[in-house]
Amino acid sequence: MSIPHALLGLLESGPRHGYDLKRAYDERFGHDRPLHYGQVYSTLARLLKNGLVEERGIEPGGGPERKRYAITDAGVTDVDSWLMTPEKPELYLQNTLYTKVVLALLSGRSAADVLDSQRAAHLKTMRELTTRKRNGDLADQLICDHALFHLEADLRWLEVTTARLDELRKQVS
């Protein structure tokens, strides 16, 4: 997640103080991980240096918390190009789970148990997300859905791999 771009994007609706920006971010995107003030101010300093934001209406006696920040034209262009650049689809090739399964097979342990315990852990997290989703607002629902669909994909892999363990055992040994 690019925090600088998210902050820039929030500034498009109008200039804000740093603390105000932090609050807006936390409300919308910070469900799990609210920003630290330090993080907000260091990010703003960097954006300022790169000409993507500018200071507005500095009040006398101003430490950083007294300044308001506004997005510049260069900032808007930057947000534009960030929004339109697709995120790299994440590949999970050669992940830890595959390694565990192969090592279990090589050592004569139960690879099915490895997969089953992962499966139980996945479903437990999916239950928690489902509960949160059911009690949450639309933002919560969409954020939880994103996680749920990914976990579901993992689970399908666990199922397919469980079904092909005998085949895999022959190949690796």
Partner 1 sequence: MGTGIMGDVVLRGQGLRKSFGLTHALEDASLDVVSGEVVAVMGPSGSGKSTLLHCMAGIITPDAGSIAYKDKDLAKMADGERSALRRTEFGFVFQFGQLVPELTCLENVALPLRLGRTARKEAERQATRWLERLEVADVADKRPGEVSGGQGQRVAVARALVTSPSVVFADEPTGALDSLNGELVMRLLVDAAKETGAGVVLVTHEARVAAYSDREVVVRDGRTRQLEPA
CB of 97 to partner 1, least distance (A): 14
Asked whether the beta carbons of 158 and 123 are under 8 A apart, the reply is no
Q: How many residues does the chain have?
A: 173
- Which of 15, 2, 4, 31 has its CA nearest to residue 136? 31
| Beta carbon nearer to partner 1, 80 or 166 | 166
Interacting positions 94-123 with partner 1 (CB under 8 A): 116-117, 119-123
| Beta carbon nearer to partner 1, 20 or 154 | 154
Could you tell me the CA-to-CA distances from 169 to 20, 22, 49, 117, 131 in Å, in that order?
57, 52, 57, 19, 38
- Among 46, 56, 109, 127, which residue interacts with partner 1 (rule: CB under 8 A)? 127
CB of 166 to partner 1, least distance (A): 12
Place of tokens 């498009």: 12
Contact between 129 and partner 1 by CB under 8 A: the answer reads yes
- Among 156, 166, 167, 171, which residue interacts with partner 1 (rule: CB under 8 A)? 156
